[in-house]
Amino acid sequence: MTDIIASAKTLRPMLEPRAVAVLGASDDPTKIGGVPLRYLRDYGFAGKVYAVNPTRDTVQGMPSYKSLAEIDGPVDMAIMSVPAKLAIETAEAAAKKGVKALCTFTSGFSEVGEEGRRMQRRLADIARESGMRILGPNCLGYFNARTKLYATFSTSIDHGQPRVGNVGLVSQSGAFGSHCFVLGRERGLGYSACITTGNEVDITVAESLAYLAMDDETEVLACYMEGCKDGEQFIQALALAYERGKPVVIQKVGRSEVGTEAAASHTASLTGADKVYDAVFERYNAFRAQTPSELIDIAYMLSGMRRSGKLPGGNKVAVATISGGAGVMMADAGEEAGLDLAPLPEKTQVYLKELVPFAGTRNPVDFTAQVYNDFSVVTKNFDAIFRDGGYDAVIGFFSSLLYSERMSQKVLDALLPVRKAFPDRIFALSVIGPEKNRRRFEEAGFLLLDDPAKAMQTIAATLEIGRGFARGRRTTPVVAKAPCLQRRPYNEIEAKALLAKAGVPALPERLAASADDAVKAAAEIGYPVVLKIVSADILHKSDAGGVKLNLANDDAVRRAYDAILSACTAAYPKAKIDGVLVGKMISGGVEAILGVQRDPVFGPIVMFGLGGIFTEIMKDVTFRLAPFDEAEALEMIRSIKGFPLLDGARGRKKCDQAALAKALANLSVFAAANRDVLASIDINPVVVLPEGEGVAALDAVILTV
C-alpha cells in the first residue's frame, strides 16, 4: 500500500535545499549546464551553490570542483547535466556523497530504446538503494518561486521570473510545462512551484501533486499529464488534495489512438483507457481541461477565489453587460456549459427598470452604456443582482473599458463596495486592457477574462469544482462480503448465478441436457420462454445460432433445442457444451448494459449505458471507478444522454432506477473484491422494469485472468 504522504515528504530536500551542486556546469550561461547555474547565482537563491566540472578551475566566475567528493559539506540537491554515457557514474557519485535529491536533465534513457531502458532501470536501482530521490531523467527541471530556486534550463525564466502565488504546476512534459508556466505568467498567475517529471524513473506526477497539496502556500494544483504507471499512488494524491481542500485541474492528453501512442512513446508510460481517467477525475473532483488556455483560465479563477475564500457550491450565474449582443452570446455559452441563468426576481427587475428604464432586466441584465453617465447605477445594479438573485457567480461585460485610465478608476470605485459585500461569490469581468489596469482590478479581488464565451466556460468549471467540495468525499462500500471469483471459465448460468449472489438479479432459468428436459423446464417456468446455448467457449451466442426467443409451446421448445445444438456444434465443433438454458421470456422495460473492465493502471472500472444503438452507435456510456455506493450509481445513471428513457419520457412508465442503482453498486463491490482475478464482466442486456418491479440480467459473461 502506497503511503503518499510519507513519499511526498521526501521531496522537501529537492524543493527546499540549503546547498545545490550543478554537475556538468558550463561556463557558457546559455547552455543546458550553464543556464541553471546562472539562475541560481544571479536571481536571488539564498542557499549555497557549487559548480562541478572536472575540466575547469572556474565556471561563470565561480570556483569549479573536479567532483562532488571535493565539496566540503553536505549537498542537498544536485542538478545533473552530463552526457548520457556519464549519467550512471555521476548518479552513483551523487548517491555516495549523500545527495538527497538529483534533478536529471540528461536524456537518452527509456525514450530512445533498449539500452536507454537498461540505463533507466539502473538509475531506478540507485534511487531505491540509496534513498536519493531522482527527478527525470529527460526533464526540464523545476522551480520554487518563493526561494527563487530555478533548477531548470528553460529560457522562460529569462523573459520573466514567476510571480510568487498560490498555484502549483506539475507537468510530465518539460517543454509543455514551461509553455503553461508562461501562459499563466502572462495572465498574471502567481506560482508557488513548477515541477516537470520527465521519464519518472523515481519521482512521479502523483508525488509532486501530493507534495504541493501539503504545502500551505499552494492552494490550487494545475497539471499536465500523459499517463501514470501507479494508479493507486495517483488516486491517493488526488484524494489528499481533496481532503486538504485544494482544487485540482488537469489536462490529460491521449484521448485519441494516435495521441495515446504518442504519449507512450514520449514518456514510456502507461496511459490506460482514456475514459478510465475521466472516471478517476470525477471520483476525486479533479476537473479535466481540454486545452492549455482552459487549464490556465481555470487555475487563474481558482487562484483568485482561494485568496478571497472558499469556492461557491452552487450553479446559479448572472450576466450584467453594457452590450445586449454580448449578453445573448454569454447566455448561450452559459447554457451550453450547463449553468443555471435563472431570472432575477420580479421586484428586482422593477427596481432595475427604475434605474435604467430601457434596460433589459431578466438575466442577462443589459444596463447599456448609459451607466457611464452615472456610475452609482453600476453599483446599484450589481448590488441588487448579488443581493436579490442568490447567484453564486456574476460576470460583467465591459468590453475594452480598461484602456481608459479615467473610466477604469470610476468603474473600479463603483464595483468595489459590491466586491467587499459579497467576498464569497465569484465576481468576474469580461474586459480587455493594459496589464497595469488589469492588475488594479485583480488586486481588488476581481477576476478578469478576455473572451466572454470562454469566461462562461471557466465559471462553469470553477463552480463544478466547488460543488464537488460541497458534495463531500465519496463513500466507499465495504467489499469483504462479496462472493469469491475463481480463476476458471464460467458459462452463462454460472456467471448469472454468481452475479445474483453478488446482488445483480436474474430471471428464473433451468439448464436442460435434452429436449425433454427443456420442455419440462419450460412448463415449470411458464411460457413463453427463451432457449440459449450454454458454453464458456461460445461468447457470441446469437451469431452462432444459439438463441431462440419467444417460444410459446412444447413443440417450439423441442424444435428450438435441436436447432441450437445443430447450429452451435457446426459453428464451434471443439466447444465444450454444457447444455441449453431455458429461461423466462420477458417483455417491456428498458434494456441497459452493465460491464466491468480491469484497467492495467487503476483496476476494475464499471460501465453503464442503455442497450442497442445507444451503446453501439451513440457510445452513450459512462464509467466509474469501483467500488461505489448507490448514491454514486444514481449519479452515473442520470449522467447519460438516454436517461429520459429511464425516467418516463413521452408517457413511458418510469423505470426502477433504485433497483438499477443497487445492482450497479453491487456489481462494483463484486468487481473490487475480485480485482486480482477478474478480467471483465459483460451483462448485456439488463432489463430495467417499471418502478418497483426491479431489474434482471438476461445474459452475462465473466472472464478471469
- pLDDT tens string 37-89: 999 999 999 999 999 999 999 999 999 999 999 999 999 999 999 999 999 99
Q: What is the pTM of this model?
A: 0.91
Binning pLDDT at 50, 70 and 90, where does residue 588 land? confident
Q: What is the mean pLDDT of the chain?
A: 93
Domain identity same for 266 and 315: no
Domain identity same for 620 and 548: no
Helix (H, G, I), strand (E, B) or coil at 28: coil
% residues pLDDT > 90 (the chain): 88
Domain identity same for 97 and 176: yes
Domain identity same for 214 and 318: no
pLDDT at residue 269 tops 50: no
pLDDT at residue 11 tops 80: yes
Range in 204-213, 409-418, 537-546 with the lowest mean pLDDT? 537-546
More confident residue, 77 or 275: 77
Q: What's residue 651's pLDDT?
A: 79
More confident residue, 110 or 674: 674
Please check whether residue 501 lies inside any domain of the structure. Answer: no
The two counts, helices (H) then strands (E), for the chain are: 24, 29
Contact of 142 with 103, CB cutoff 8 Å: yes
Domain identity same for 270 and 408: no
Q: Which residue has the cell 427443456?
A: 518
Last residue of a domain, one of 305, 322, 343: 305
C-alpha 500, offset from chain centre = 33
Domain identity same for 70 and 195: yes
Please check whether residue 14 lies inside any domain of the structure. Answer: yes
Q: What's residue 246's pLDDT?
A: 97
pLDDT at residue 262 tops 60: no
Q: What's residue 453's pLDDT?
A: 96
Cell for 497? 448465478
Helical pair 452-471 and 292-308, crossing angle rounded to 10 deg: 60
Contact of 331 with 341, CB cutoff 8 Å: yes
Domain identity same for 446 and 552: no
Please check whether residue 499 lies inside any domain of the structure. Answer: no
Amino acid at 308: S
Last residue of a domain, one of 549, 584, 619: 584
Can you tell me the distance from the alpha carbon of 615 to that of 638, in angstroms, rounded to the nearest whole number?
A: 16
Binning pLDDT at 50, 70 and 90, where does residue 540 land? confident
pLDDT at residue 1 tops 70: no
What is the mean predicted confidence (pLDDT) over 184-197? 96
Kindly report the three-state secondary structure assignment for every residue of 363-390: CCEECCHHHHHCCHHHHHHHHHHHHHHC
Non-local (6+) Cβ contacts of 13 within 8 A are 76, 77, 100, 101, 133
Can you tell me the distance from the alpha carbon of 367 to that of 344, in angstroms, rounded to the nearest whole number?
A: 14
C-alpha 136, offset from chain centre = 23
Q: Which residue has the cell 438476461?
A: 698
Amino acid at 535: S
The CATH number of residue 565's host domain is 3.30.1490.20
Cα separation of the two ends of the chain: 22
pLDDT at residue 679 tops 70: yes
% residues pLDDT > 70 (the chain): 97
Containing structural domain, residue 622: 590-704
Cell for 425? 461569490
Domain identity same for 350 and 249: no
Please check whether residue 119 lies inside any domain of the structure. Answer: yes
Cell for 229? 504507471
The CATH number of residue 640's host domain is 3.30.470.20
Helix (H, G, I), strand (E, B) or coil at 580: strand
Please check whether residue 26 lies inside any domain of the structure. Answer: yes
Please check whether residue 364 lies inside any domain of the structure. Answer: yes
pLDDT at residue 265 tops 60: no
For the chain, what's the residue count? 705
Binning pLDDT at 50, 70 and 90, where does residue 369 land? confident
309, 247, 254: which is closest to 284 by C-alpha?
247
Non-local (6+) Cβ contacts of 488 within 8 A are 704
What 8-state DSSP symbol labels residue 233? Answer: H
Neighbours of 129 (CB within 10 A): 10
Can you tell me the distance from the alpha carbon of 39 to that of 314, in angstroms, rounded to the nearest whole number?
A: 45
Q: Can you name the residues that pair with 456 across neighbouring β-strands? A: none
Contact of 139 with 165, CB cutoff 8 Å: no
What is the mean predicted confidence (pLDDT) over 91-120? 94
Binning pLDDT at 50, 70 and 90, where does residue 259 land? very low
pLDDT at residue 614 tops 90: no
What 8-state DSSP symbol labels residue 439? Answer: H
Domain identity same for 101 and 235: yes
Binning pLDDT at 50, 70 and 90, where does residue 257 land? low
How many independent structural domains does the chain possess?
Answer: 4
Contact of 683 with 495, CB cutoff 8 Å: no
pLDDT at residue 263 tops 70: no
pLDDT at residue 270 tops 70: no
Last residue of a domain, one of 305, 333, 349: 305
Contact of 324 with 333, CB cutoff 8 Å: no
Q: Can you name the residues that pair with 594 across neighbouring β-strands? A: 608, 683
Domain identity same for 397 and 256: no
Helix (H, G, I), strand (E, B) or coil at 471: helix
Strand pairing of 700-704 and 695-697?
Answer: unpaired
Can you tell me the distance from the alpha carbon of 365 to that of 521, in angstroms, rounded to the nearest whole number?
A: 70
Domain identity same for 604 and 556: no
Cell for 322? 453594457
Q: What's residue 256's pLDDT?
A: 55
Contact of 24 with 53, CB cutoff 8 Å: yes
Torsion region of 474: left, alpha or beta (phi above 0 gives left; psi -120 to 50 gives alpha) = beta
The CATH number of residue 30's host domain is 3.40.50.261
Please check whether residue 174 lies inside any domain of the structure. Answer: yes
Quick: pLDDT tens for 299-338.
999 999 988 778 999 999 999 999 999 999 999 999 999 9
Please check whether residue 478 lies inside any domain of the structure. Answer: no
Domain identity same for 681 and 696: yes
Neighbours of 705 (CB within 10 A): 10
Torsion region of 533: left, alpha or beta (phi above 0 gives left; psi -120 to 50 gives alpha) = beta
Q: What's residue 309's pLDDT?
A: 74
